[in-house]
Structure formats: structure tokens, C-alpha cells
Amino acid sequence: MIVALISLPLWGGLGWGFNSCSSHSSADKAARVAKQYYDYLIEGKYDAFVDGRYQPEAIPDSYRDQLIKNAKMFMGQQQIEHRGIKETRIVNVTADDNHHEANVFLTLCFGDSTVEEICVPMVERDGIWYLR
């Protein structure tokens, strides 16, 4: 079993995310949203994954397109090395409500039966959680 804490290099995005709802804690919301973004990778929805990245300003379309290509290449590499990512699981989350930030720990379950734990930094802006 492979277990490592990493933060994947993620850039860009156009400020898309999930709206918060008052029935769950900030930490729970951040964890569910982070998992959803990584599930988008598994589903091949690379644009949705990229758009989940917090950007205080708009980015050029050409840059966004490159980020989408990078996400696709990342998943292709995981297919070669581990027979792909098959599932994501929430392991833990720590949140700082004062700064509207959280660190979500996800386990990536690969097709070759290995797993990897990653730390996904999140930030909340205007009630929406984004990848940081």
C-alpha cells in the first residue's frame, strides 16, 4: 500500500464551485466539494476540475485550455502507472472558519489496488468552496 501526502499542482479556474448550505459544517462542505472536484477527474470532466480552482481574476482562454490538457495528461499518466484512479474517499478535514480555509485529506484508490493520500487545500469565497 502506498500512502503519501502530496498537494497536486493545480492552477487556474474561473471561479466555479458549489454553494454552501447551512445544514453542514464548513469542514464537511469543503470535504464534499474537494471530493467532487477529484471525482470530476475520474469522470473525465477536466474543465469542471479546472474551473474549481480559485482565481481572484479571470484567466485567458488559452491558459485555461492548457490547464485542462494538463489535467487530462495527469489522468493519462495515472492510467499508465496505476491503471487509473477508480475512487476517491474523504479521510479527514481540518478547517479554519475565521480564514475560510480548509485542508481536505482524500485517498485516491487506484486500479492496481494501491492507494495514495493527498492533501487538498481549499478556500471559501462568497459561500463557494474552491481548490486553492
Write the CB contacts of 10 (distance below 8 Å, at least 6 apart in sequence).
53, 131
> Is the pLDDT confidence value at 124 over 50?
yes
Residue 64 φ/ψ, nearest 5 degrees: -60, -45
The predicted pLDDT at position 24 comes to 60
β-bridge mates for residue 90, sequence order = 106
The burial class, CB within 10 Å (0-12 / 13-18 / 19+), for 108 is: buried
pLDDT 10s digits, 56-101: 889 999 999 999 999 999 999 999 999 999 999 999 999 999 999 9
pLDDT 10s digits, 6-43: 333 333 333 333 333 434 699 999 999 999 999 999 99
> Is the pLDDT confidence value at 114 over 50?
yes
Cell 464537511 belongs to which residue?
28
